[in-house]
Amino acid sequence: MPRILTVAAAQLGPIQRADDRGSAVARMCALLRQAGANGCDLVVFPELALTTFFPRWFMEDQAEVDSFFERAMPAPETQPLFDLAKELAIGFYLGFAELVEEEGRLRHFNTSILVDKTGAIVLKYRKIHLPGHAEHEPWRAFQHLEKRYFEVGNLNWPVTRSLGGVLGMAICNDRRWPETYRVMGLQGVEMVLIGYNTPRHNPPAPEHDRLSEFHNHLAMQAGAYQNGTWVVGAAKCGVEEGCEMIGASAIIAPTGQIVAQALTQDDELVIARCDLDLCASYKETTFNFARHRQPDQYGLITARAGAIPPD
């Protein structure tokens, strides 16, 4: 019997600042119902899926910043998502801003959770590659202040056995870095779940703008193929507070091929039947890590962050 996981990338259109969590959760519940009607086992929602993408604004009032964060998960506003998913027996990935007291202080993380079919949180991940900048840069058309509002995640990239496979998570900018997939690949991951918010315009490099969707798929397809894993990318997209973010949510096979992709920049379910056993022929041949990797030769990867070219 092949191990089929029917998965949906639940792309969300824009969430404006005036939209409350209740309306975001209602939209996600509508997508969950569609997923249930289509026999889905797992639904992947975007990064920071409960609010507008607030790092686009410079805010000095910490209470204003904190208003975008969740102090509990689930909380009264998010409980309906957990209840419906449990009723429909669907697992889900949810991205949100996490405010937690840890090590005796308040800490802010860009977080995702994996919830299984019983409604239990079975995996948590905190975003490690935080893009953008920490100080106000008024020359930009909009800010990208993830380095100001979040700490670097402290959970590494854990994977878990759930829903019949080995599942892991990443968040947005993580998908552009090969290390993300390889750390999970070394734990035998069979499906990597990724939510994202990707503005089309890149203020420091506007020459990249026309390639945004290409780079989105290029990175996820490479991560899938090179690690023999499925990859599911779910966007929050469309024009949010005047800032266009790309859609192109996609489900990618271990072959590196895109098997399903979003057509809109709005709420849309992208569905595929994913055979987890398809991972094996890549993990056991071309990317048989135990047989072919040479970790002794990779020391620079963990010893050095920035490139140092020769004199």
Considering the candidates 40, 47, 274, 279, report the single residue annotated as catalytic.
47
Q: Report in angstroms how near the CB of residue 220 gets to ligand CDV at its nearest.
A: 11
Q: Which of 158, 169, 60 is nearest to 113 (CA)?
A: 169
* Single-letter amino acid code for the residue at 125: Y
Q: 231 φ, ψ to 5°?
A: -135, 130
Secondary structure letter of residue 211 according to DSSP: G
Residues in contact with ligand CDV by the rule CB under 6 A: 47, 131-132, 144, 172-173, 176, 196-198
CB nearer to ligand CDV: give 162 or 249: 249
Considering the candidates 40, 70, 98, 127, report the single residue annotated as catalytic.
127
Q: How far apart are CA 181 and CA 169, in angstroms?
A: 9
85 contacts 32 by C-beta, under 8 angstroms: yes
11 contacts 237 by C-beta, under 8 angstroms: yes
Q: How far apart are CA 261 and CA 242, in angstroms?
A: 25
CB nearer to ligand CDV: give 197 or 265: 197
CB nearer to ligand CDV: give 176 or 283: 176
Considering the candidates 172, 237, 243, 274, report the single residue annotated as catalytic.
172
Q: Report in angstroms how near the CB of residue 184 gets to ligand CDV at its nearest.
A: 18
Q: Where do runs of H (alpha helix) occur along 91-189?
A: 146-149, 178-185
47 is catalytic: yes
CB nearer to ligand CDV: give 32 or 246: 246
201 contacts 141 by C-beta, under 8 angstroms: yes
CB nearer to ligand CDV: give 40 or 262: 262
29 is catalytic: no
Q: Report in angstroms how near the CB of residue 131 gets to ligand CDV at its nearest.
A: 4
* Single-letter amino acid code for the residue at 69: F
Number of H helices, E strands in the chain: 9, 14
CB nearer to ligand CDV: give 185 or 233: 233
117 is catalytic: no
Q: How far apart are CA 213 and CA 254, in angstroms?
A: 20
Q: Report in angstroms how near the CB of residue 173 gets to ligand CDV at its nearest.
A: 3
Q: Report in angstroms how near the CB of residue 79 gets to ligand CDV at its nearest.
A: 26
Contacts of residue 182, defined as CB under 8 A and 6 or more positions apart, other chains included, come to: 226, 227
Q: Report in angstroms how near the CB of residue 113 gets to ligand CDV at its nearest.
A: 17
Secondary structure letter of residue 49 according to DSSP: T
24 contacts 49 by C-beta, under 8 angstroms: yes
Q: Give the angle 166-172-174 at the CA atoms, nearest 5°.
A: 70
H or E segment to which residue 222 belongs: helix 212-227
Secondary structure letter of residue 151 according to DSSP: P
Q: Give me the active site residues, please.
A: 47, 127, 172
